[in-house]
Amino acid sequence: MNPTRTDGGAGAVPRPVDPRLLVREQGFRGYLREFLRRLRGGELGSVPVVLGLIVIWVIFQLLNDRFLTPRNLSNLSVDIVGTGLIAVGVVFVLLIGEIDLSVGSVSGLAAAAFAVLNVHQGMAEWLAVMVAVLSGTAVGAVHGFFFARIGVPAFVVTLAGLLGWNGLMLYVLGTRGTINLDDEGLVARLTSLYFDDIAAAYGLAAVSVAIFFLSSCLGGLRRKTLGVPCRPLSEIAVRTGVLAVIAFAAAYTLNRFQGLPLALLIFLLVVVSLDLLLHRTPYGRKIFALGGGVEAARRAGINVVWVRISVFMVSGTMAAIGGLFLASRITSASQTSGSGMLLMMAIAAAVIGGTSLFGGRGSTWSALLGMLVIQSIASGMALLGIQTAVQFMITGSVLLAAVVIDSLSRRSQRAHGLV
């Protein structure tokens, strides 16, 4: 690895080098040094949550041999989708260093709006879905306007939204209480439809691996053309191999139960699409820039007001979509939709998965990993017959550990001049 440059002279302070410009030493020693450098610099990435997830799975499998069965893992993959989609929207807000406390109420409002429009007003399902999703977008725009244009703290705006939108949901439902959805309808089938042809799951795995390999090669060629250090082909091959093992193992497991769930397929497409939006587009770079510092982003010519409003619109939209999936899971919308621990679980999933509470760091994959941790704990506890109170205490402890790691990581990065 290239040495870190100094300003010259005895006792000169080392000047930090952009890690993207470092050339890693080849071979195992190079990987080890790169890992230690990232560890010292606080660039832990997804390593803590992945290790934690492995530990959780091993412990619950040792305590109950039904935990890693195809049935349980397949159900787990569907259970994470509703809250996971909401958590994806929360990631966007956290990236700019803010928080959205209204996502639970917005998800409940969207589910109630869809149920009333479709079941009681006779509106076509696809149109009711559009209205419900756009209602979440509009709610997000209102939050963003008061925050970015008027200057009201996001915490206060969304706290008011939590109460106000929950009240509107109760008003929309009226005295009906619970509205049951059509079991064979579009929304109900979002979480009940499985592609039982084994080619579906294996095909998805093969396409995912192929796209990853090609995009990695093309990205490497582009960086090489620009004279920027890039990953060698051997490393790309190793990464592709690891992804292939995970993808085909997941496909094999799903095919041993009912096949590939439609809900999981949609969730993965959303996660990948929005991750590309964040990391491969100018709009995404503006979000990260805003999370790194508002004044610096403004001086760089970024329209801070628009980016802030748009981020809350994304959060509201994802909350509405997540609410429809949660309604689909129980084929109904009720006065309890969006309430309870949903808000806390969505925020906890984003943070546990690796998105920083301080802004400027994270990805949509955080929502997926965080939900896998939370739902794995819930599933394991249910199999062991442990009461919900204990589950909340353990999940809270995991959340605290994630925040502590995030804080220590940020402190380490600051010490190394990386933030």
Q: In the chain, count of helices (H) and strands (E)?
A: 15, 4
In a 10 Å sphere around its CB, with 0-12 CB exposed, 13-18 middle and 19+ buried, how is residue 190 labelled? buried
- At 368-415, the pLDDT tens digits run 999 999 999 989 989 988 887 887 888 788 778 877 877 777 776 666
Decide the pairing of beta strands 194-195 and 260-261. antiparallel
3-state helix, strand, coil in the chain (%, to 5): 70, 0, 25
Give the residue-averaged pLDDT of 167-182: 88
Decide the pairing of beta strands 332-333 and 179-180. antiparallel
pLDDT band at residue 1 under the 50/70/90 scheme: very low
Strand partners, 261: 194
Q: What are the residue ranges of helices labelled H in 300-338?
A: 304-330
- At 260-311, the pLDDT tens digits run 999 999 999 999 999 999 998 999 999 999 988 888 889 989 999 999 999 9
pTM of the model as a whole = 0.88
* DSSP code of residue 320: H
* CA neighbor of 277 nearest in space, from 363, 370, 367, 369: 363
Give the residue-averaged pLDDT of 27-36: 64
Contact 331, 183 (CB under 8 A): yes
Phi-psi region of 417 (alpha: psi -120 to 50; beta: other; left: phi over 0): left
Is 17's pLDDT higher than 80? Answer: no
How far apart (Å, rounded) are the C-alpha atoms in residues 222 and 238?
20
- At 73-110, the pLDDT tens digits run 999 999 999 999 999 999 999 999 999 999 999 999 99
Is 32's pLDDT higher than 70? Answer: no
- At 201-220, the pLDDT tens digits run 999 999 999 999 998 888 88
pLDDT band at residue 20 under the 50/70/90 scheme: low
